[in-house]
Amino acid sequence: MAKHAHRIEKDHLGEVKVPAGAYWGAQTQRAVENFPVSGLRAHPALVRAHVMVKLAAARANCDLCKLDSRTSAAIEQACQEVLQTGRLMDQWVVDAFQAGAGTSFNMNSNEVLANRAGEILHAPLGSYRHIHPNDHVNMSQSTNDTFPTAMYLAAMLLGAEVTAALGGLADAFAEKGRAFDSVIKSGRTHLQDAVPVRLGQEFAAYAMAVRRAAARLAGALDECKELPLGGSAAGTGLNTHSLYAEAAVRHLAEISGLDLVPADDLRHAMQSMAPMAAVSGAVRNLALELVRIANDLRLLASGPRTGLAEIRLPAVQPGSSIMPGKVNPVMAECLNMVAMQTIGNDTAVALAVQAGQLELNVMMPLMAHNVLGSLDILRNYLPVFTEKCVRGIEADADRCRAYFEASAGLATILNQHVGYAKAAEVAKEAVRTGRSLRELILEKGLMTEADLAKALDPKRITEPHDPTGPGAP
């Protein structure tokens, strides 16, 4: 058994022991040994996107007669096995934190696909008898153009799922906005009583915030459609056919189903990682909105006896190991943590994006790890939060109405009826005595019951209106 545990491969640095059954080769093995950093591997979306790039390259090189049809067909079959069945996905073994630019990751792909394609042509693993990782699988390519292409592609594919999930979340908030439209409550600014709002208006505003954040993310993802593929090592297209970039991107668009185009300037596309900054920034801005909304939900549901308790969040699990009957807003708490993690990821991405030097930014693996990680946890959690939290939210209309009637913020509504000074005086008395403004206004004879009821009509006081039109005092 031990005799066959390894095979010997060679690269230009010498001999390397590679596990006998591994589809990776010498350069991947060196990376495994050199970078035992996190135990985290490349995101599966990045692996799949990179395999799509290798497939597109093989097709383009075959079209341009640089790669013979037999070799191209074997590489294509190896790629399709990964893409269609997930075969060999466990063979991408390089740590997420690795050599700059993703060279180790690129060679991991080249070696796995070369070994599987060679196996299809009846060559033993590690022999590269028919298909070589560099000469064939990596033909017309460099890490420097394939890695950012795969990174952008993976971001677009994952990002589309996030925007779809955001659409579901926005729809759920909008549905609650309609359901709660008639629930009047006290608004709050500075966490102090303010003018009234309707609970439905608050939830409709959450829906708008999510939709706007989704639109910003979609716009940022559009920046990833312009690809550096074909730029080779420095954006000059060295060792590529003059028609290769166009052909490779055309094939990649067909394989991925995305609207992709070659970069207008391949040098710029390999120097600047601004599209990654845009995507990461859009995700960060989304996260800021999600943290704000989650915190609002936690405040509105606080209690149930000693907090605001204007809404009830679904009870999904017991909240305490010591306090019987306690239920916590765990879904909103988890959303906070997911969003906070993405904000932290964005800081790492920003540092990586600005670290480009001359013809290349070598910090791309860090960008890919953090951007795809952020998109992944949002993609995974947003639908759960939508279904297990937002769709089950209930309003306590009586509690909201009681706060509305007790709020000193009603004094603002009374300005035009009793004047600012008198309204302020009554508001101060209400705060001091704990009595409602309604009670004091009627007691002091400042307004009649009918006039006060009209002045405090929920729709009238929570929407703009023509003061000279119907319903004017």
Give me the active site residues, please: 320
Residue position matching structure tokens 């985290």: 40
Task: For residue 194, count other CB atoms closer than 10 A to its CB.
Answer: 15
Residue position matching structure tokens 């999510």: 210
Across 248-291, where does the E strand assignment appear? 261-262
Beta bridge partners of 185: 197
Separation in Å, CA 23 to CA 111, 116, 117, 286? 7, 7, 10, 40
Q: Which helix (H) or strand (E) holds 19?
A: strand 14-19
Q: Is 435 exposed, middle or buried (0-12, 13-18, 19+ CB in 10 A)?
A: middle
- The identity of residue 470, as a single letter, is P
Q: Which token pair is 182?
A: 């008639």
Listed as own residue / partner, the contacts of 436-442 with beta carbons closer than 8 Å and 24 or more positions apart are 436/405, 436/406, 437/405, 437/407, 437/408, 437/410, 437/411, 438/405, 438/410, 441/414
Q: Is 302 exposed, middle or buried (0-12, 13-18, 19+ CB in 10 A)?
A: middle
From 183, 204, 189, select the one nearest 312 (Cα to Cα): 183
β-pairing, 6-11 with 14-19? antiparallel
Any idea what DSSP says for residue 448?
-
Q: Is 471 exposed, middle or buried (0-12, 13-18, 19+ CB in 10 A)?
A: exposed
Q: Is 274 exposed, middle or buried (0-12, 13-18, 19+ CB in 10 A)?
A: middle
Handedness of CA 294, 295, 296, 300 (dihedral sign): positive
- Asked if 332 and 290 count as a contact pair (C-beta separation under 8 A), the reply is no
